[in-house]
């Protein structure tokens, strides 16, 4: 079904990017580029090879100047990306994005000396700088750089890699987005978002046709998509080898400031409870009255709730009311996104699929993109991305270098926001059948966040490991790895069709942010634990939670979670979250 933006009230819900620049021809763009180039040149000239000799006050000023360059490049990059994301078919938008990418690469190449010299500086000299009062706010950021020392190369090599970045991973991801943005699905030539929406239809024929249309679209581009996946897996293999990472995911763990043991415990805990998914879909098959539950039946609505279309104004009210029930401050921040046009919600041909929140830069504000089609899932998506937005808005006070949160905590606010909206909506339902259907929908959302993301992590592990052992992979091999890592999650409850074997090919996280997906499971299980604390502590919890968001990435995940007495090393912590999911399942069973 085609989406009627006017009927939903999203026809004018487009973001105002003039908080960044007026247009791609804005004269300020050239001014900001010139400023960055001049500053980078001066810093390289005055500090390269002399970092250890600087006075602490001069070192502090150097870090602040680097941060300002990062802010200006961040403004340029954000504008170019957001401008492109809603018009991926437009050659001018694509060309501008590439120009900004190449410009940032050229400027960053001049500044690589700082990372290399700082990371390898003698501990005593580094300590002198870190203990200087004006450097204190950057302490965590600078310590993280030093932990990467053994994985950094010599300066000419690092400069060469930066030089090649514009035609590396980001360029291949842009190609992927262009392909998906141009691709038309089915006889009606619909967008990916429109077809995906039909997988939630109560009509089985509509769901089956949607699955067929999606698979057909992927099949048309399969030779290109397979090449993109192979190329980026090979690029990562080479980069990991050059940087002496022992495994494909070690760089992600280091960036997330997590020990691999914690991630292994998380993955083992989740895969060990795949029985929850199997049990649920067996029950869902009964509720739907089906003999066989195929992959395209997974999202069929459970009987008990009337179909509804929720307008954009209704969605806004639902989300902000749920936020206000938890924290007035959270609701007021969220309201700005709607009132000040920081959201793009229209479904448009040529618009990037999915949804995201972009932190932009601290001195501006975040932006949100959703493809709003008017169902309850979309309300949850808006809550999710607005949770990110509130987090990013609060963390902006930490500055450019400390605002960005580790990926594993970046999902905390978004998943918590989803849970607030779910609890508020559930409280309004009186009919047992309606409550059951609503809980089913939430369970499926949790499954997508916890079990499916871990299964996708297992796909990534299989893809990268096999690529390194056997060389380039065929689409058939990738599909085999996909099915072999998806089937254990469903057990015998869902019959996966041959077509479903191709559905690895449209998941952009595998390309843009390798190793990222387990962060969703981390965030969901963490949020379930935090919400249990909220139920126990009440108002006292709210202040601690807001402080957590406002801290951004100024400390490690373990340090940020210390006020909540959470031990990430304890398997019992992860099983506690899984037990809460099982309790929800018991209500359905």
Nearest C-alpha neighbor of 94 from the set 82, 84, 104, 105: 84
Q: Which H or E element spans position 91?
A: helix 91-119
pTM: 0.88
Report residue 1's pLDDT band, with 50, 70 and 90 as the boundaries. low
Total number of domains in the chain: 1
* Half-sphere exposure at residue 131, Cβ-oriented, CA atoms within 13 angstroms: 6
Examine residue 209 and state whether it is found in any structural domain, yes or no. Answer: no
| pLDDT reported for residue 377 | 87
Per-residue pLDDT at 307 exceeds 80: no
Report residue 34's pLDDT band, with 50, 70 and 90 as the boundaries. very high
- Residue range 349-376: average pLDDT? 94
Nearest C-alpha neighbor of 357 from the set 418, 411, 419: 411
Residues 6+ apart with CB under 8 A from 349: 89, 191
- Residues 392, 336: Cα–Cα separation, whole Å: 13
Indicate the pairing of strand 343-344 with strand 367-369.
parallel
Examine residue 384 and state whether it is found in any structural domain, yes or no. Answer: no
Q: Are 558 and 568 in contact (CB under 8 A)?
A: yes
Nearest 10 degrees: Cα torsion 147, 153, 156, 161: -90
- Residue range 84-112: average pLDDT? 95
- Residues 6, 285: Cα–Cα separation, whole Å: 36
- Residues 54, 61: Cα–Cα separation, whole Å: 10
Report residue 63's pLDDT band, with 50, 70 and 90 as the boundaries. very high
Mean pLDDT (the chain) is 95
Strand extents, DSSP E, 41-195: none
Q: Are 244 and 151 in contact (CB under 8 A)?
A: yes
- Residues 342, 220: Cα–Cα separation, whole Å: 35
In this structure, the number of other CB atoms found within 10 A of the CB of residue 453 comes to 23
Q: Are 169 and 512 in contact (CB under 8 A)?
A: yes
356-358, strands of its sheet edge to edge: 343-344, 367-369, 356-358
Examine residue 95 and state whether it is found in any structural domain, yes or no. Answer: yes
Per-residue pLDDT at 304 exceeds 80: yes
Q: Are 541 and 533 in contact (CB under 8 A)?
A: yes
Which residue range forms the structural domain that includes residue 95? Answer: 17-167
DSSP string, 10-66: -TT----GGGT-SSTT-HHHHHHHHHHHHHHHHHHHHHTTTGGGS-HHHHHHHHHHH
Q: How far apart are the first and last CA of the chain?
A: 32
- Residues 83, 25: Cα–Cα separation, whole Å: 12
Question: What are 518-560's pLDDT values in tens digits?
Answer: 999 999 999 999 999 899 999 999 999 999 999 999 999 999 9
Per-residue pLDDT at 407 exceeds 90: no
- Residues 4, 288: Cα–Cα separation, whole Å: 29
Report residue 2's pLDDT band, with 50, 70 and 90 as the boundaries. confident
- Residues 145, 71: Cα–Cα separation, whole Å: 18
Rg (Cα) of the chain, in Å, rounded?
A: 24
Examine residue 30 and state whether it is found in any structural domain, yes or no. Answer: yes
- Residues 132, 552: Cα–Cα separation, whole Å: 22
- Residues 505, 345: Cα–Cα separation, whole Å: 25
DSSP string, 223-243: HHHHHHHHHHHHHHHHHHHHT
Examine residue 494 and state whether it is found in any structural domain, yes or no. Answer: no
Question: What are 19-28's pLDDT values in tens digits?
Answer: 999 999 999 9
Find the CATH number of the domain harbouring 45: 1.20.140.70
Q: Partners of 294 in the beta sheet?
A: 495
In this structure, the number of other CB atoms found within 10 A of the CB of residue 536 comes to 9
In this structure, the number of other CB atoms found within 10 A of the CB of residue 101 comes to 21
Q: Are 551 and 406 in contact (CB under 8 A)?
A: no
Examine residue 485 and state whether it is found in any structural domain, yes or no. Answer: no
- Residues 478, 415: Cα–Cα separation, whole Å: 30
| pLDDT reported for residue 302 | 93
Question: What are 242-300's pLDDT values in tens digits?
Answer: 999 999 999 999 999 999 999 999 999 999 999 999 999 999 999 999 999 999 999 99
Distance of CA 519 to the CA centre of its chain: 8
């Amino acid at each position: 079904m085609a989406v009627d933006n006017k009927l939903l009230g999203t026809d004018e819900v487009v973001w105002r990017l003039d908080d960044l620049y007026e247009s791609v021809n804005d004269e300020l763009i050239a001014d900001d580029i010139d400023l960055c180039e001049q500053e980078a040149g001066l810093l390289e000239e005055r500090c390269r090879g002399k970092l250890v000799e600087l006075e602490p006050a001069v070192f502090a000023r150097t870090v602040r100047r680097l941060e300002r360059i990062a802010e200006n490049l961040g403004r340029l990059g954000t504008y170019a990306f957001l401008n492109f994301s809603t018009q991926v078919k437009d050659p001018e938008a694509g060309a501008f994005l590439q120009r900004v990418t190449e410009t940032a690469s050229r400027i960053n190449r001049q500044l690589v000396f700082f990372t290399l010299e700082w990371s390898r500086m003698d501990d005593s000299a580094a300590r002198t700088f870190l203990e200087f009062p004006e450097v204190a706010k950057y302490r965590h950021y600078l310590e993280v750089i030093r932990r990467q020392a053994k994985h950094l190369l010599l300066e000419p090599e690092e400069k060469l890699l930066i030089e090649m970045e514009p035609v590396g991973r980001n360029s291949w991801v842009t190609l992927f987005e262009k392909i998906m943005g141009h691709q038309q699905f089915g006889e009606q030539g619909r967008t990916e978002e429109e077809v995906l929406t039909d997988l939630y239809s109560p009509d089985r024929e509509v769901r089956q046709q949607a699955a067929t249309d999606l698979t057909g679209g992927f099949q048309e581009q399969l030779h290109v998509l397979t090449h993109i996946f192979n190329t980026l897996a090979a690029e990562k293999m080479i980069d990991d080898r050059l940087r002496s990472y022992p495994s494909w995911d070690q760089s992600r763990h280091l960036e997330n400031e997590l020990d691999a043991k914690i991630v292994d415990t998380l993955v083992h805990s989740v895969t060990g409870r795949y029985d929850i998914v199997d049990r649920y879909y067996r029950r869902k098959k009964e509720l739907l009255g089906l003999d066989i539950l195929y992959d395209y039946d997974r999202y069929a609505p459970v009987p008990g709730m009337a179909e509804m279309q929720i307008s954009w104004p209704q969605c806004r009210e639902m989300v902000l009311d749920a936020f206000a029930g938890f924290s007035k401050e959270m609701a007021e921040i969220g309201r700005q996104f709607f009132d000040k046009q920081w959201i793009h919600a229209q479904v448009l041909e040529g618009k990037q699929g999915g949804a995201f929140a972009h932190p932009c830069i601290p001195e501006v504000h975040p932006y949100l993109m959703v493809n709003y089609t008017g169902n309850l899932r979309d309300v949850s998506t808006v809550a999710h991305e607005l949770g990110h937005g509130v987090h990013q808005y609060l963390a902006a006070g930490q500055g450019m270098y400390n605002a960005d949160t580790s990926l594993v905590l970046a999902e905390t606010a978004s998943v918590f926001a989803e849970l607030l909206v779910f609890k508020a909506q559930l409280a309004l339902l009186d009919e047992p059948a309606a409550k059951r259907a609503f809980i089913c929908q939430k369970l499926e959302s949790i499954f997508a966040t916890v079990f499916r993301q871990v299964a996708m992590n297992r796909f990534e592990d299989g893809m990268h490991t096999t690529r390194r052992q056997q060389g380039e992979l065929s689409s058939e091999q990738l599909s085999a790895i996909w099915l072999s890592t998806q089937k254990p999650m469903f057990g015998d409850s869902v019959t996966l069709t041959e077509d479903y074997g191709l559905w690895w090919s449209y998941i952009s996280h595998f390309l843009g942010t390798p190793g990222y997906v387990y962060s969703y499971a981390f965030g969901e299980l963490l949020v379930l634990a935090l919400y249990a604390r909220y139920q126990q502590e009440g108002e006292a919890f709210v202040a601690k939670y807001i402080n957590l968001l406002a801290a951004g990435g100024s400390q490690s995940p373990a340090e940020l979670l210390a006020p909540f007495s959470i031990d990430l090393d304890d398997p019992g912590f992860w099983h506690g979250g899984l037990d809460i999911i099982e309790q929800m399942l018991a209500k359905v069973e």
